[in-house]
Amino acid sequence: MEATPAWRKLPYRRLELYEPEGDLMTLQLGPQHPSTHGVLRIKLHLDGERIVKAVPFPGYLHRAVEKLCEQLTYVQIAPIVDKNDYVAPMTSEQAIILAIEKLLKVEVPRRARWLRSALAELQRVASHLLWLGTMTLDLGGALGGGGSVFVYTMRERELVLDLFEGLTGSRFHYNTHTVGGNRHDVPAGWAKDMHAALDLIEKRIPEYETLTQNNRLFVERMRGIGVLEPELALELGVTGPNLRASGVDHDLRRDAPFHAYDEVATNVITAKAGDCLARTQVRVAEMKESVRLARAFIDGLPEGPLVSGKPIKLPGQFKVNSGQVYAALESARGELGTFLVAGAGTSPYRLKIRPPSYHAISALPYLLPGHTVSDTVAILGSLDPIMGEVDR
């Protein structure tokens, strides 16, 4: 007989114990709710304010991106797919491009790989900034201290978006990656702007810490809430900062280097507790680490061509007849993988995206029971789900 995992022994984690009784109140949290990070619906069975059972219902933002990509050629997929994770479009674009390059066996020039790494780190900073803002917004309310932190982090995130705009011309949905390299070269003075922006962000991070993780009011709300055991996290496939906050030392940047991460060492940040506070601490520390990495990548940006092979001129430029690949990178939310099966010709036969957010919210039925309605938003926010990515 299989031994019961430790996390399953906790009474409120044994979901089979609970059947919503007639006298439990059912609360539909979402899909239209201020703090479900988009359109997640969670069905909460409440005993007073205590949650007895929670069932998340994703799917309200389903846009059939994977099916759509089967109709598109390899050239056209990237600009569509970067709408998936609308908080970190740069990495969702890179994820699909990595898979296509692996399928087509295209080599990427060194300069493009370094530039991609720098962009990925900048995007991680921007994404974590937005996360910190919305997390505090969930705790403190839009008309309160949470709103203040939100506006501060948005202010600093604008700096990163300005950088992206200077590079690609768009603040969002850049389409700056192409099969075999990057489309936009670094403009003159961009590296200097980037250093200035990163310096400012690094200077401001202690301020957010004062308002959030060093503030006892905030800590009280977060400590011991939504503890995600490492076994449960691994079982559910939770990755990224959520997993690292549970004490599992796993980071694709170090463990399976993509881009240029094999050339610059990444410090993987972990925490032991696995609660909401640990997730906050991991993300804030990761922000600092990403600032360091982004600096290293832009300083060491090698000379050379940006694209290997011919630049895109035709929709059917890349042909492959068979093969299947899985490529993954560490996005701001965890392992963002793409499974690609080649069809005959210029389009994929099947495209499957493995979004880290989907696996993160699959932990909700285990994390929520036993907590109160107030903690729901804290737990949900601390997992950092992006519904565009969950539903695709």
Name the residue nearer to other proteins (CB basis): 130 or 236.
130
In the window 174-203, what residues touch other proteins (CB under 8 A)?
175, 178, 180-185, 187
In the window 350-379, what residues touch other proteins (CB under 8 A)?
372-377
By CB under 8 A, residue 143 contacts other proteins:
yes
Buried b (16+ CB within 10 A) or exposed e, 195-213: eebbeebbebbeebbebbb
By CB under 8 A, residue 235 contacts other proteins:
no
Name the residue nearer to other proteins (CB basis): 146 or 355.
146
Are 276 and 36 spatial neighbours (Cβ–Cβ below 8 Å)? no
Least gap, CB of 164 to other proteins (angstroms):
10
Name the residue nearer to other proteins (CB basis): 111 or 333.
111
In the window 66-125, what residues touch other proteins (CB under 8 A)?
72, 75-77, 79-80, 104-111
Window contacting other proteins (CB under 8 A); options: 148-156, 230-238, 243-251, 281-289: 148-156
Name the residue nearer to other proteins (CB basis): 125 or 276.
276
By CB under 8 A, residue 217 contacts other proteins:
yes
Name the residue nearer to other proteins (CB basis): 112 or 252.
112
By CB under 8 A, residue 306 contacts other proteins:
yes
By CB under 8 A, residue 312 contacts other proteins:
yes
Question: Binder to other proteins among 47, 70, 165, 235 (CB under 8 A)?
Answer: 165
In the window 30-59, what residues touch other proteins (CB under 8 A)?
33-35, 49
Name the residue nearer to other proteins (CB basis): 139 or 264.
139
By CB under 8 A, residue 313 contacts other proteins:
yes
By CB under 8 A, residue 262 contacts other proteins:
no
Name the residue nearer to other proteins (CB basis): 88 or 243.
88
Question: Binder to other proteins among 63, 255, 267, 315 (CB under 8 A)?
Answer: 315
Name the residue nearer to other proteins (CB basis): 205 or 243.
205
Window contacting other proteins (CB under 8 A); options: 119-127, 214-222, 268-276, 289-297: 214-222
